[in-house]
């Protein structure tokens, strides 16, 4: 049987997904890639309890990218919200970034949106992350002009300064 590198994650993947996401967004290991938020936020990006909550939520799907050694090296969070699909936590292992995994996960997320008959995928991106916003723009995601504050909870980390999030969307 041919193994597919992208599949839905399950609760049994929670610990590995949590380690992956935190390694890509925070701490010293995140500095090996270009998606680090360590200069903007302290703390962890996600804890295992929250990851398990996501994986148990019927409106949420996490797609995982698995390498030939069955290690999860990428993931993306997708949540159905009012007939639109929210995309977040697009993650690739810092040592494997810029090798096309993120683009493959984004393509799989768009296919999933079409499968759910969601015409729009939207996301929020830290407004000062111009390189990331430009990466999404090259893939058809456009700023809506809407800006929202960073969540006041420390669940996603502790901002080192005021952070705002730009809303981007794409018709799929």
Predicted local confidence at residue 66, as pLDDT: 95
pTM of the prediction?
0.91
Q: Where are the domains of the chain?
A: 6-171
Among candidate residues 123, 135, 126, the one with its CA nearest the CA of residue 168 = 123
Report how far residue 24's alpha carbon sits from residue 83's, in angstroms, rounded to the nearest whole number.
30
* CATH class of the domain defined by 6-171: alpha beta
Predicted local confidence at residue 2, as pLDDT: 47
Residue 25 burial (C-beta neighbours within 10 Å; 0-12, 13-18, 19+)? buried
Quick one: how far is CA 140 from the chain centroid?
17
Q: Which residues contact 21 (CB under 8 A, 6 or more apart)?
A: 45, 46, 51, 75, 89, 91
**Per residue in 104-122, pLDDT tens?**
999 999 999 999 999 999 9
What band does 27 get if pLDDT is binned at 50, 70 and 90? low
């Amino acid at each position: 049987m041919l193994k597919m590198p992208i599949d839905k994650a399950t609760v049994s993947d929670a610990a590995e997904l949590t380690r992956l996401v935190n390694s890509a967004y925070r701490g010293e290991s995140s500095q090996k890639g270009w998606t680090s938020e360590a200069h903007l936020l302290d703390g962890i990006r996600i804890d295992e309890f929250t990851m398990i909550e996501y994986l148990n939520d019927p409106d949420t799907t996490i797609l995982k990218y698995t390498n030939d050694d069955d290690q999860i090296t990428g993931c993306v969070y997708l949540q159905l919200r009012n007939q639109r699909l929210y995309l977040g936590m697009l993650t690739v292992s810092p040592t494997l970034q810029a090798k096309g995994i993120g683009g493959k996960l984004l393509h799989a997320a768009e296919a999933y949106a079409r499968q759910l008959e969601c015409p729009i995928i939207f996301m929020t991106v830290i407004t000062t992350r111009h390189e990331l916003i430009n990466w999404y723009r090259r893939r058809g995601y456009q700023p809506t002009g809407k800006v929202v504050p960073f969540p006041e909870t420390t669940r996603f980390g502790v901002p080192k300064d005021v952070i705002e999030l730009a809303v981007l969307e794409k018709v799929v």
